[in-house]
């Protein structure tokens, strides 16, 4: 057993990021300024996206996208129940009704067939979530959305740098929201990015900063003008140059960080492939997985203990894990407001009961990975049915 506890997903911050932050702190700009603009441009170039808007969270990006898309009271927005609360909370924030649907049994992504069944004459948008970093079946979603005139918003919090049919998630014209939270493949501690059509982002930029016609950098920089107008009641969602300083170097390192993630995933796959008690993450041939999460599922009846006990046993062996996610329809707010029952979404519910996320981050050493593998296999052996 390990002597020290292995955290689930700590960040990997290097000297370049630290020096860039110090440089920012010694500069004239610590809030939204030139480094935020550089980060936006570099991010768009990396993804080959039409444009990018840096914000203070993925939640802000999702909320801004819905507001920019004109989604509001009386509208319905379809999304998955197997996601973090932010994906659905933002629908409530704009006064619309979230319509939850079930997931595919292999990828655990939103099921396009269930989306089609859920569309009504009040449906205005679909929020798809690229679960764990495996891209959604976007062709099916976009075909349906085009036929019904619906806005597609991608929750890409897990999906950097995933690809669907050779194209980066976020490279399209529809809005895609990314997260740079501390556990993500690229981190700015807190932060997010919205990509999409340039005209859409121009309006989103105004909405994301009080509805003002000029941001601070344009007003207070050399040649700027003090005058501004509030064109609508916007939000305070801007990213700072301190955050962007981290992002600039994290983006430069993303390929190498991702390569390490892939090595860890390969080791997990090879170790667990022939273990009959475990179901491995799915990987379809048309995608490149971002591997934000490595989600194992315990096969029904294979072990004498359930998922919760399995996690406790791993913790006792000093291995940190997590669960992604508690389905939204099980949380008190949504359960009480909309009358959901656990088995309303059987795929999400049954998979939730069996799933756990293993440590997956570029800080893991080969010894760490071996410790995780040995601990998982030990617990399986101890409690095999």
Measure Cα distances from 251 to 17, 57, 92, 165, 201 in Å: 10, 17, 32, 22, 21
Question: Considering 217, 251, 285, which residue would you say is the last residue of a domain?
Answer: 251
Q: Does 122 share its domain with 264?
A: no
Verify that 224 and 330 share a domain, yes or no: no
Torsion of Cα atoms, 63 then 67 then 70 then 76, to 10°: 30
Per-residue confidence band for 272, with pLDDT thresholds at 50, 70 and 90? very high
Domain hosting 19: range is 15-251
| pLDDT tens, residue by residue, 131-147 | 999 999 999 999 999 99
Q: How many domains does the chain have?
A: 2
Residue 9, domain member (yes or no)? no
Return the CATH number at 206.
Answer: 3.40.640.10
pLDDT at 220: 65
Query: Which one is catalytic: 184, 218, 252, 263?
Result: 184
Confidence of residue 129 (pLDDT cuts 50, 70, 90): very high
pLDDT reported for residue 297: 98
Identify whether 253 is a catalytic site residue: no
* Helix H or strand E segment including 152: strand 151-155
CA–CA separation, 230 and 233 (whole Å) = 7
185, 217, 251: which is the final residue of a domain? 251
Q: Is residue 79 part of a domain?
A: yes
Do 292 and 232 share a structural domain? Answer: no
Tell me how far apart the alpha carbons of residues 178 and 184 are, in angstroms, rounded to a whole number: 10
Domain of residue 291, CATH code: 3.90.1150.10
Give the pLDDT score at 77: 99
My answer on whether 279 and 309 are in the same domain is: yes
Identify whether residues 217 and 261 lie together within a single domain: no
β-pair partners for 179: 192
Classify residue 1: in a domain, yes or no: no
Of 321, 313, 319, 316, residue with least CA distance to 379:
313
pLDDT tens digits for range 41-53: 999 999 999 999 9
230 assigned to some structural domain = yes
Structure tokens that stand for 369 in this block: 């990975």
């Amino acid at each position: 057993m390990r002597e020290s506890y292995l955290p689930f997903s700590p960040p990997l911050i290097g000297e370049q990021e630290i020096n860039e932050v110090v440089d920012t702190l010694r500069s004239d700009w610590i809030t939204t300024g030139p480094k935020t603009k550089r980060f936006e441009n570099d991010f768009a170039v990396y993804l080959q996206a039409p444009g990018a808007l840096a914000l203070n969270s993925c939640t802000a990006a999702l909320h801004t996208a819905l507001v920019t898309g004109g989604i509001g009271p009386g509208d319905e927005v379809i999304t998955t129940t197997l996601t973090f609360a932010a994906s659905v909370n933002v629908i409530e924030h704009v006064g619309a009704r979230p319509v939850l649907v079930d997931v595919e049994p292999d990828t655990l992504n939103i099921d396009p067939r269930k989306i089609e069944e859920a569309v009504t004459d009040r449906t205005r948008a679909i929020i798809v979530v690229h679960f764990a970093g495996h891209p959604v079946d976007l062709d099916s979603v976009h075909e349906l959305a085009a036929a019904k005139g619906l806005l597609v918003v991608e929750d890409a919090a897990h999906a950097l740098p995933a690809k669907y049919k050779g194209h980066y998630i976020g490279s399209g014209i529809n809005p895609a929201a990314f997260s740079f939270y501390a556990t993500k493949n690229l981190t700015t501690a807190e932060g997010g990015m919205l990509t999409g059509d340039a005209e859409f982002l121009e309006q989103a930029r105004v909405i994301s900063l009080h509805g003002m016609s000029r941001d601070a950098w344009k007003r207070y920089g050399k040649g700027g003008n003090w005058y501004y107008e509030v064109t609508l009641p916007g939000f305070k969602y801007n990213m700072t140059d301190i955050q962007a300083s981290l992002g600039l170097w994290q983006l430069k390192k993303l390929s190498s960080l991702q390569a390490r993630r892939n090595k860890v995933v390969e080791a997990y796959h090879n170790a667990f492939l022939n273990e009959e008690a475990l179901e491995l993450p799915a990987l379809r041939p048309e995608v490149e997985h971002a591997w934000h999460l490595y989600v194992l599922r315990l096969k029904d009846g294979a072990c004498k203990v359930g998922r919760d006990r399995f996690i406790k046993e791993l913790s006792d062996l000093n291995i940190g894990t997590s669960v992604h996610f508690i389905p939204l329809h099980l949380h008190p707010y949504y359960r009480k407001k909309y009358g959901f029952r656990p088995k309303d979404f059987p795929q999400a519910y049954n998979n939730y009961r069996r799933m756990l996320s293993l440590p997956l981050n570029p800080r893991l050493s080969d010894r760490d990975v071996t410790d995780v593998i040995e601990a998982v296999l030990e617990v399986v052996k101890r409690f095999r049915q």
